[in-house]
Structure 1
């Protein structure tokens, strides 16, 4: 009997290890008449909630996956570091290598704000060429056509997502929003944002087959927005399960992920 219990424990431990270190790729296709023809088939790679996790020496496993994807643009949607074990160099090891693959855009998560070192984090990223968006917008132009990118600062900075969205007028240009928090989905809908990239929920940490995530910050037990796509009116929100963990050190049925979005112009 003890032998079988030991074997079961070993199998469970191996399963948890693989489930917390193997990076899956979630592929999403987004179609819209507002997407300019020049951006048809463009791929966006979303990285979220690294939380100072390490995937190989100097993030080599993660970098190799991103190289294989070869995206047109990369979005980092917050919590690239963890305020409980703050190691900025670990994050820069990743960024320094992917900045040469595609343009990188970044917004803060709550953990960057919580370090009280957020200006240093932003400056370090800007120094290697990252587009750091602090309640700002940039126009991305290709073949004479444009899309708008908006970056929302995490509300731990003192201003709600709703307050920050008020800065941006509705636009005829297709609008991509980087914002760490998914629980305020209705705000993105109210301000007519086209496509929102979010994280923060860690996939619900423990995913129950058929039910979804168990708990998420800002949403509590059985959270609504934890993984995949959510739609209302003309707004689509993509929530990444993220890559790392914070206070809770393990995931269950919830592998770390990279999200790859392919844009399709109708």
Structure 2
């Protein structure tokens, strides 16, 4: 009987561990300073959501929406894989977006799963109908007291278009010296983003490495393989900084381990 009790306790402990690792949303806050940031944007707060993969956080996504609300964002960025191509449930993800648009302006780019499910136009139409700013290789200007920054976005290269071509289109109308934020799903393309001298990039896709090993980092990421270079947090190359969000949901691998679902917040600081 004692052995059975220990076995049951061990099973319950493992289940609790996996549940917490996959449902406990953490908020990670960072600051980013750049002399190109206008003073009117000092303290501007950017909240990033990535890789939801149709995951559900509370009834009608209320837990996720409330977490985003608490970050007090000026804008909300969604950097792809809002849905999952293996269990497509657009409505479940749209419940979250309906809450987001009542908090701040929302900007969105697709990830590889939107391309894979071959329903990009359906997703774009649904989001635009809610007032989301979609960025299919395009840029938008955000203005404050006569000053502006650019928010640009590119689609996922699974669509058959190379990253540089998409960047050329997205940045074509952005003034050269304007501070520019880029939404781009894939962090492994960091070298190309840096070559184009983009100031601040928001990316996802890596799921934090899915399993994070203490003192090592992420174990595996799509597009990067084992022990990937870009899985979480800030990375800098030349004059470009990239923030990689660990994501919220899962695809393929059913569990995140030592890798809580993440909401990223980056606050801009003018030098």
Following the alignment from structure 1 to structure 2, what is the Cα–Cα distance between the partners of residues 4 and 161? 54
Matches of 1:14 and 1:198, distance apart in 2:
30
Which range moved further: 157-166 or 138-147?
157-166
In the other structure, the counterpart of 1:157 is 159
Aligned position for 2:17: 15
Q: What aligned pairs does 1:106-125 form with structure 2 within 5 A after superposition? A: 106-125=108-127
CA deviation vs aligned residue, 1:28-61 (integer Å, no higher than 9, x gap): 1001101110000011000000000000111000
1:178 aligns with 2:183: yes
Q: Which secondary structure state, in structure 1, belongs to the residue aligned with residue 5 of structure 2?
A: helix
Structure 1 residue aligned with 2:234 = 229
- TM-score w.r.t. structure 2 length? 0.96
Between 157-166 and 112-121, report the one with greater CA deviation: 157-166
**1:64 is the counterpart of 2:66:** yes
CA–CA distance in structure 2, aligned partners of residues 5 and 232 of structure 1: 50
Residue 75 in 1 paired to residue 77 in 2?
A: yes
Gaps of 5+ in 1: none
Using the alignment, how far apart are the partners of 1:66 and 1:240 within structure 2? 14
Whole-Å Cα distance in 2 between the matches of residues 77 and 171 of structure 1?
24
Aligned residues: 266
Secondary structure in structure 2 of the residue aligned to 1:120: helix
Alpha-carbon separation, structure 2, partners of 1:214 and 1:68: 31
Match of residue 198, structure 1, among 203, 210, 214: 203
Q: Distance in 1 between matches of 2:230 and 2:90?
A: 28
* Residues in 2 aligned to 1:179 and 1:204: alpha-carbon distance in whole angstroms: 18
Distance 1:203 1:145 in 2: 35
**Per-residue deviation, 1:3:** 3.4
SS at match of 1:121: helix
In the TM superposition, residue 139 of structure 1 has moved relative to its aligned partner by: 1.1
Q: Helix, strand or coil: the match of 1:156?
A: helix
C-alpha RMSD of matched pairs (Å): 1.1
Separation in 2 of the partners of 1:208 and 1:123? 40
Partner of 1:260: 265
Structure 2 unmatched ranges of 5 or more: none
Q: CA deviation at 1:21?
A: 0.4
Q: CA deviation at 1:107?
A: 0.2
2 CA distance for matches of 1:248 and 1:162? Answer: 30
| TM-score, scaled to structure 1 | 0.97
Q: Does 1:50 align with 2:52?
A: yes
CA distance in 2 between partners of 1:133 and 1:165 (Å) = 11
Q: Which residue of 1 aligns with 2:41?
A: 39
Deviation at 1:102, TM superposition (A): 0.4
Match of 1:220 in 2: 225
Matched, 1:238 2:243: yes
